[in-house]
Amino acid sequence: MPSNYPGFEYDADRETVSAAKVKALESLLIEKGVITGQTVDTVLSHFESKMGPFNGAKLVARAWVDPDFKARLLADCNAACEELGFPTGMSGAEGEHMRIAENTPEVHNVIVCSLCSCYPWPTLGLPPYWFKDPTFRARVAREPRVVLSEFGVELDDSVEIRIWDTSAQIRWWVLPMRPEGTENMSEEELAALLTPEAMMGVATVKG
Amino acid sequence: MKLQHNIGGIENLDPINFETRVFVEPWEERIFGIHTAMMALSNHLGDSLPDYKIDQVPTEFKSFWTWGHLRMGAESLNPFEYFRLRYYEKWLGGISGFFVEEGYITQAELDERTSQYLAEYSQADATLADLPKGGNMGIDEQVMKYLEEGDSPLRPSDMTPKFSAGDRVKVKNVQPGDHTRLPGHLRGKAAEVVKVYEDAFTYFFPTADGLGSPMPVYSLAFQAKDIWLEDLTDPNMVYYNDIFEVYIEAL
């Protein structure tokens, strides 16, 4: 249940008041010619069909099957996106300067935005609730192993954890390790194994 | 000092709330869409790297609105409110307040319309009012163009970065003012420059702590023991932060 932060009090009509207020705001902005009656839906449908974790999954799957592509993805994420023939927009809003960090048996990467919720929109879409919650942002900065174990990722102390805190305008994401036993899978099947969490570094990919 | 600038490392918090949805209430997606449209229609985009004809876009929105403006609102909250409110509740308060302050709508209009919708929600058999339809499609064309082309902060620069990869540096303890991109837990800490990003990055508007005009940005690596007391942190961890040049000095 995400809506209550422990220790605080909330009105019983909390959600209906917010729902009415945002509807009032949107309707006034439409009437006054700030936005149109379709603007908000236009934005939302963009994240359903064009900017989402399905893009990141395709890029990771390609990197798993093509070592040369992986090298280019690690060297210049935006150029590699363009190369795969994605629709325009892979260098669009919140993806102008993306970089990807590679997980290996020796190194495990996790992204965080300790000041807000910076996130690579073109490859991962919009950030899940837990990533925006101050609890994650506070705790992963100091005790990432404990946090990862709460997510179900147990790492040996010999694995170096790298935290990528995005306070400037580079947008980081994670290239997870390809799971064992997937040698015969197609690129499409491999892409289907990926979750946003795996590409943020708080999950491993299961074959 | 603001709690919002000093989230990193707080102790005694609860287990992670592993909620993977983006929007946990249906109304939240509407305020996200409004904010994104504001960024796409912001008057500064005429100076952006993509070729936006922003002064010809048929919107009544004539203001300057970036992530920095939204963040500044959240950073100005009472810190307990910051924790009490959910992510998009902070957005709704900040953005509706902005439209009132800038004179696009009045508080009375907003309250009256809100009460009208609330009254509908409270009646089980009420027909809910639809949102107004129509509007000039040139607005939505600009919003789509913005989503596809973005607003890169990169600016060509002949500035020579003050630091090079391998240099040891220290994060300054500057007065953060209303808005900062310097995480509190890194203030005063030592780190190594691992990468100097090419060219220079603007922040679109000046902040009291020195952002704004284009400057180099660095990737810094902090050893955990240089940030936290050893018994408060996990073993074998390196903390990377992308940081604007104005925030660091030679060690």
**Which pLDDT does position A90 carry in this prediction?**
72
Chain A residues touching residue B110 (CB < 8 angstroms): 21, 24-25, 28
Question: Tens digit of pLDDT for each residue in A114-132?
Answer: 999 999 999 999 999 999 9
Kindly list the domain boundaries of chain A, sorted by start residue: 14-46, 51-192
Torsions phi, psi for B87 (to 5 deg): -45, -55
pLDDT at residue B216 is higher than 60: yes
Tens of each residue's pLDDT in chain A, 207 residues = 566 887 899 999 999 999 999 999 999 999 999 999 999 999 999 999 999 999 999 999 999 999 999 999 999 999 999 888 776 567 789 999 999 999 999 999 999 999 999 999 999 999 999 999 999 999 999 999 999 999 999 999 999 999 999 999 999 999 999 999 999 999 999 999 999 999 999 999 998
Kindly list the domain boundaries of chain B, sorted by start residue: 3-152, 155-250
CATH topology of domain B155-250: SH3 type barrels. (2.30.30)
Mean pLDDT of the B218-226 span: 97
**Which pLDDT does position A48 carry in this prediction?**
95
Domain B3-152: top CATH class: mainly alpha
Catalytic residue annotation of A: 113, 116-118
CB distance B130 to B24 below 8 Å: no
- CB burial readout B220-244, b (16+ within 10 A) else e: bebebeebbeeeebbebbbbbbbbb
CB distance A151 to A143 below 8 Å: no
Question: Tens digit of pLDDT for each residue in A98-108?
Answer: 999 999 999 99
Among chain A residues, CA nearest to B238: A162
- Whole-angstrom Cα distance, residue B32 to residue A160? 36
CB distance B233 to B224 below 8 Å: yes
- Whole-angstrom Cα distance, residue A104 to residue A152? 18
Minimal CA separation from A91 to chain B, in Å: 6
Residue of A9, A29, A117 best to disrupt the B interface, most CBs of B under 10 A: A29
CATH superfamily of A51-192: Nitrile hydratase alpha /Thiocyanate hydrolase gamma (3.90.330.10)
- Whole-angstrom Cα distance, residue B205 to residue B210? 10
Distance of CA B207 to the CA centre of its chain: 13
The encoded tokens of residue B91 equal: 């957005």
Of B17, B71, B244, which is closest to A168 when you measure between CB atoms? B244
Residue type, B192: E
Q: Identify which has the larger pLDDT, B126 or B22.
A: B22
Same fold for the domain at B3-152 and the one at B155-250?
no
Question: Tens digit of pLDDT for each residue in B53-69?
Answer: 999 999 999 999 999 99
Confidence of residue B94 (pLDDT cuts 50, 70, 90): very high
Average pLDDT, chain B: 96
Q: Which residue has the tokens 């799957």?
A: A61
| Helix, strand and coil percent figures for chain B, each rounded to 5 | 40, 15, 50
Cβ of B135 within 8 Å of Cβ of A41? The answer is no
Of A43, A138, A144, which is closest to B36 when you measure between CB atoms? A43
Residue of A8, A22, A107 best to disrupt the B interface, most CBs of B under 10 A: A22
* Interacting residues of A111 by C-beta distance below 8 A, sequence separation 6+: A101, A163, A164, A166, A172, A173, A174, A200, A201
Minimal CA separation from A184 to chain B, in Å: 30
Cβ of A89 within 8 Å of Cβ of B148? The answer is yes
ipTM value of the model?
0.96
Cβ of A20 within 8 Å of Cβ of B235? The answer is no
